[in-house]
Amino acid sequence: SAVISQKPSRDICQRGTSLTIQCQVDSQVTMMFWYRQQPGQSLTLIATANQGSEATYESGFVIDKFPISRPNLTFSTLTVSNMSPEDSSIYLCSVKSRGEYTEAFFGQGTRLTVV
């Protein structure tokens, strides 16, 4: 298993500002992902964070809005840019080791409220 630390755990931000969320893993992992969980809804994959290259974004998510960095195998950041109230969600970091039968582990999430 992997222990994932996400910071901050929650924040209240003004519209138009940006917030950077950090994800730290206690071991080297191959795959890192960022998910969004909107109020009362399920999890939606935002992007796959690739080490040393640009993240791979899912349909409906763009780099300008959600820039992602992954400088090494244990750390990644997600920035929510130019925030609006619609960005109020829980953002979760997830990690997975390469291998056919491995499962994904999740951080505790960052609860973001945009006012």
Partner 1 sequence: AQSVTQLGSHVSVSEGALVLLRCNYSSSVPPYLFWYVQYPNQGLQLLLKYTTGATLVKGINGFEAEFKKSETSFHLTKPSAHMSDAAEYFCAVSEGGGGNKLTFGTGTQLKVEL
Closest distance to partner 1 from the beta carbon of 13 (Å): 19
Residues 37, 35: Cα–Cα separation, whole Å: 7
Nearer to partner 1, 81 or 88 (CB): 88
What are φ and ψ of residue 45, in 5° steps? Answer: -75, 125
What are φ and ψ of residue 54, in 5° steps? Answer: -65, 145
Nearer to partner 1, 4 or 114 (CB): 4
Nearer to partner 1, 13 or 104 (CB): 104
Q: Residue 42 to residues 9, 35, 45, 63: CA-CA distances in angstroms? A: 19, 10, 10, 22
Give me the residues that bind partner 1 (CB under 8 A), please: 4, 6, 31, 33, 41-45, 48, 92, 94, 96, 98-101, 103-109, 111
Smallest CA-to-CA distance from 20 within 87, 89, 81 is with: 81
Nearer to partner 1, 9 or 20 (CB): 9
Closest distance to partner 1 from the beta carbon of 1 (Å): 9
Closest distance to partner 1 from the beta carbon of 15 (Å): 24
